[in-house]
């Protein structure tokens, strides 16, 4: 739409006023002048009638005298004087030859005068060709005395009247212009102020006080503007409050969120996105990894949700990126870090594979021994006890494996109730429990403890101590001594189990706490190991807020140390 031609309110008012004044002056002038002219014409005619009456009064009788009378009278009255006989013939005329003049009995003013009235008429004169004013009265001998003047005798006074009228209207008009200018100023100044206030509001300054005005409508407008800006302020506050809430929520989300505009500009990015992808990009073209850019385009083109897992950064993180297109062309990118989930999945998969593998070995042994046992029952009964013993060994190993797996899944599946407990009692009880097995293998067990109580699960900590002692005994040779110490160091309870056994190669130290990781698989199996003992220990200690470490020298023994917080 084309912009309308702009003019100030004052100009508009003045132009409108001027047009109105011109119209009024035109119409008024026309009618006033016409009425004035009529009044003047009437007055001239009455004057003529007066003069005619006076002339009729002293009209002589004889036609000769009448001619002289007429000629004498004309210069006095300034009018054309005509005397008409009772039969309508013209007896004398001051401005024309009476002989040549036609019979005047048909003239309206003559007819009226003949009836005894004062006759008036106004018409174009046959003799002069101008508009004439006539007044006629009856004189002696039914003769009619008629005086006439051209109508334009009123022109001069009318002109003068018109001049005065125009002057008057001009003065009134100018006074009006001044008044309009004054009113316009009184209207436009507050309007300009209001417009300034409105501009400030539009520019975001809502703390404005619109000026009051003595013009009711402007005052109302100002007050409306004021309440509008207050209301706008409330709305803006509401909107920005909601926006802040939304931002807080979005920032708290672990998923990175990026909103891409239709023109590829970035409309919004939350804090997690910065953590995952780096500084907020200004446009889609700056988004790294580049595959996200392709995904946004594909999602828009195909109008479907596109999701992809990709690796990004160093160290590499696995990111799941989901791009959802909106109908209007914008697109929402949600990025989640699934590295841990992936790792857990991998660990779980490995665990199932390893567990199945570990279970397979004793089960195969049992099956093989059972089959052989059946054959031996018939053919070599003396070998039966040997195969039965083999089955027992394999079944025990299976039972240990299942028991460790159950311990592990029990530990992982719940949060243990921690109570204030006497750690020394647990350590001493586990030493006593281990003693028969140790003696059987000719291994001495020495304990050196102090009273220490911690917050924890007695059952779980007993399991951890048992596994450490069990390993120390199993990986020591007969004659060796295993020492367990319980001490208090700072705000920690320290349990250390030292043996003088096989020791562990340096390269394996880091991995022995992994499930099923074994340095010497044969020895582990032969001594009834499952490969799960240390992972159970680590799980228990970490769930108590502690840490387990190992120091070992290949061939001369190992020390496993667990540190547990005292409270
Ligand atoms: P396992 O049931 O095989 O003993 P663990 O998880 O308890 O499984 O231990 C993992 C591996 O760590 C063992 O297979 C063994 O090689 C090594 N290991 C654990 N404790 C000791 C120790 N005290 N001395 C030497 N090696 C040990």
Compute φ and ψ for 151, nearest 5 degrees: -60, -30
pLDDT of residue 414: 79
Contact 519 CB / ligand 1 (< 6 Å): yes
Contact 558 CB / ligand 1 (< 6 Å): yes
For the chain, how far is it from start to end, CA to CA, in angstroms?
78
Q: What is the mean pLDDT of the chain?
A: 91
The percent of residues in the chain predicted with pLDDT above 90, rounded, is 65
Cis-peptide, bond into residue 316, ω within 30° of zero: no
The Cα 436–Cα 439 span in angstroms is 5
CA of residue 239 relative to chain centroid, distance: 8
The mean pLDDT of 491-515, rounded to a whole number, is 95
| Whether the Cβ atoms of residue 500 and residue 472 lie closer than 8 Å to each other | no
Q: Candidates 497, 533, 554: which one to mutate for ligand 1, based on the most atoms within 8 Å of Cβ?
A: 533
Query: Alpha helix (H) ranges present in 82-154?
Result: 108-114
Is pLDDT above 90 for 462? yes
Radius of gyration of the chain (CA): 65
pLDDT of residue 242: 95
| Whether the Cβ atoms of residue 75 and residue 99 lie closer than 8 Å to each other | no
Contact 557 CB / ligand 1 (< 6 Å): no
Contact 531 CB / ligand 1 (< 6 Å): yes
| Whether the Cβ atoms of residue 201 and residue 209 lie closer than 8 Å to each other | no
Ligand 1 centre from 362 Cα, in Å? 19
The Cα 182–Cα 191 span in angstroms is 14
Closest residue by Cα to atom 11, ligand 1, is 518
- pLDDT digits over 344-393, tens only? 999 889 989 999 999 998 999 999 999 999 999 999 999 999 999 999 99
Q: Tokens at residue 537, please?
A: 């220990």
pLDDT of residue 448: 97
Per-residue pLDDT band for 12 (boundaries 50, 70, 90) equals confident
Query: Alpha helix (H) ranges present in 203-255?
Result: 216-252
Q: Which residues, 6 or more positions from 353, have their beta carbon under 8 angstroms from its beta carbon?
A: none
Ligand 1 centre from 456 Cα, in Å? 25
> Strand 547-553 and strand 492-498: pairing?
unpaired
| Whether the Cβ atoms of residue 333 and residue 362 lie closer than 8 Å to each other | no
Contact 496 CB / ligand 1 (< 6 Å): no
pLDDT of residue 314: 87
Compute φ and ψ for 294, nearest 5 degrees: -60, -40
Q: Tokens at residue 368, please?
A: 């093989």
Ligand 1 centre from 474 Cα, in Å? 8
Ligand 1 centre from 165 Cα, in Å? 129
Q: Candidates 480, 524, 527, 556: which one to mutate for ligand 1, based on the most atoms within 8 Å of Cβ?
A: 524
Q: Which atom of ligand 1 is nearest to the CA of 520?
A: 16
Q: What is the dihedral of CA 372, 374, 375, 378, to 10 degrees?
A: 150
Compute φ and ψ for 143, nearest 5 degrees: -80, 155
pLDDT of residue 189: 85
Is pLDDT above 90 for 470? yes
- Hey, what long-range contacts does 504-510 have (CB within 8 A, 24 or more apart)? 504/550, 504/552, 504/554, 504/558, 505/554, 506/552, 506/554, 509/550, 509/552
Ligand 1 centre from 537 Cα, in Å? 11
Contact 391 CB / ligand 1 (< 6 Å): no
Contact 397 CB / ligand 1 (< 6 Å): no
Per-residue pLDDT band for 304 (boundaries 50, 70, 90) equals very high
The Cα 190–Cα 193 span in angstroms is 5
Q: How many helices (H) and strands (E) does the chain have?
A: 14, 17
Q: What share of the chain is helix, strand, coil (3-state, %, to 5)?
A: 55, 20, 25
The percent of residues in the chain predicted with pLDDT above 70, rounded, is 99
Quick one: which of 268, 269, 243, 241 has its CA closest to 256? 269
- pLDDT digits over 109-127, tens only? 999 999 999 999 988 877 7
Is pLDDT above 60 for 305? yes
Is pLDDT above 80 for 2? no
Closest residue by Cα to atom 3, ligand 1, is 531
Is pLDDT above 70 for 1? no
pTM given for the model: 0.56
Q: Tokens at residue 301, please?
A: 């083109």
Closest residue by Cα to atom 19, ligand 1, is 471
- pLDDT digits over 242-295, tens only? 999 998 999 999 999 999 999 999 999 999 999 999 998 899 999 989 999 999
- pLDDT digits over 186-243, tens only? 888 888 888 888 898 888 888 888 888 888 888 898 899 889 888 988 999 999 999 9
Quick one: which of 279, 280, 343 has its CA closest to 317? 343
Q: Candidates 351, 512, 558: which one to mutate for ligand 1, based on the most atoms within 8 Å of Cβ?
A: 512
CA of residue 383 relative to chain centroid, distance: 88
- pLDDT digits over 411-421, tens only? 988 777 899 99
Contact 476 CB / ligand 1 (< 6 Å): no
The Cα 378–Cα 94 span in angstroms is 186
List of E strands, 410-480? 419-422, 444-449, 453-456
The Cα 525–Cα 354 span in angstroms is 15
The Cα 243–Cα 247 span in angstroms is 6
The Cα 336–Cα 323 span in angstroms is 12
CA of residue 150 relative to chain centroid, distance: 86
Ligand 1 centre from 500 Cα, in Å? 14
Is pLDDT above 70 for 552? yes
| Whether the Cβ atoms of residue 436 and residue 430 lie closer than 8 Å to each other | no
Is pLDDT above 80 for 567? no
Contact 520 CB / ligand 1 (< 6 Å): yes
- Name beta bridge partners: 484: 447, 497
């Amino acid at each position: 739409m084309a912009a309308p031609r702009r003019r100030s309110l004052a100009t508009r008012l003045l132009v409108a006023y001027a047009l109105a004044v011109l119209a009024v002056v035109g119409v008024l002038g026309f009618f006033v002048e016409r009425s004035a002219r009529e009044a003047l014409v009437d007055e001239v005619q009455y004057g003529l009638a007066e003069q005619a009456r006076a002339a009729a009064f002293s009209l002589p009788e004889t036609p000769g005298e009448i001619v002289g009378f007429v000629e004498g009278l004309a210069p006095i009255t300034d009018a054309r004087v005509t005397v008409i006989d009772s039969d309508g013939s013209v007896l004398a005329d001051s401005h024309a030859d009476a002989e040549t003049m036609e019979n005047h009995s048909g003239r309206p003013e003559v007819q009226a005068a003949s009836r005894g009235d004062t006759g008036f008429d106004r018409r174009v004169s046959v003799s002069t060709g101008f508009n004439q004013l006539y007044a006629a009265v009856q004189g002696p001998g039914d003769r009619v005395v008629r005086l006439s003047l051209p109508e334009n005798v009123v022109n001069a006074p009318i002109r003068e009247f018109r001049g005065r009228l125009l002057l008057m209207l001009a003065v009134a008009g100018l006074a009006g212009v001044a008044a309009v200018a004054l009113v316009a100023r009184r209207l436009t100044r507050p309007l300009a102020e209001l417009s300034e206030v409105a501009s400030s509001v539009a520019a975001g300054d809502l703390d404005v006080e619109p000026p009051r005005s003595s013009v009711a409508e402007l005052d109302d407008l100002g007050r409306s503007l004021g309440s509008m800006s207050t209301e706008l302020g409330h709305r803006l506050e509401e909107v920005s409050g909601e926006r802040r809430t939304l931002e807080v929520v979005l920032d708290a989300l672990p998923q990175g969120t990026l909103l891409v505009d239709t023109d590829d500009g970035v409309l919004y990015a939350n804090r997690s996105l910065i953590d995952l992808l780096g500084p907020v990009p200004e446009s889609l073209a700056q988004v790294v990894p580049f595959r996200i850019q392709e995904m946004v385009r594909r999602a828009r083109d195909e109008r479907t949700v596109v999701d992809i897992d990709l690796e990004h950064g160093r160290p590499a993180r696995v990111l799941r990126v989901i791009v959802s297109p909106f109908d209007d062309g914008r697109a929402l990118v949600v990025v989640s870090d699934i590295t841990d989930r992936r790792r857990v999945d991998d660990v779980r998969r490995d665990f199932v594979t390893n567990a199945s593998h570990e279970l397979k070995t004793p089960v195969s042994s049992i099956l093989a021994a059972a089959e052989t046992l059946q054959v031996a029952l018939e053919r070599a009964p003396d070998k039966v006890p040997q195969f039965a013993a083999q089955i027992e060994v394999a079944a025990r190993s299976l039972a240990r494996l299942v028991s460790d797996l159950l311990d592990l899944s029990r530990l992982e599946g719940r949060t243990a109730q921690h109570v204030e407990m006497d750690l020394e009692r647990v350590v001493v009880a586990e030493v006593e429990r281990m003693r028969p097995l140790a003696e059987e293998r000719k291994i001495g067990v020495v304990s050196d403890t102090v009273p220490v109580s911690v917050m924890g699960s007695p059952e779980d900590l007993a399991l951890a101590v048992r596994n450490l002692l069990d390993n120390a005994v199993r990986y020591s040779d007969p004659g060796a001594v295993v020492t367990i110490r319980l001490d208090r160091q700072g705000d920690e309870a320290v349990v250390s189990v030292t043996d003088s056994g096989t020791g562990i190669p340096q390269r394996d130290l880091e991995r022995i706490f992994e499930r099923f990781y074994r340095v010497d698989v044969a020895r582990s199996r032969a001594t009834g190991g499952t490969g799960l003992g240390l992972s159970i220990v680590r799980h228990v200690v970490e769930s108590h807020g502690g840490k387990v470490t190992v120091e070992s020298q290949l061939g001369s023994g190992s020390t496993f140390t667990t540190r547990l917080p005292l409270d």
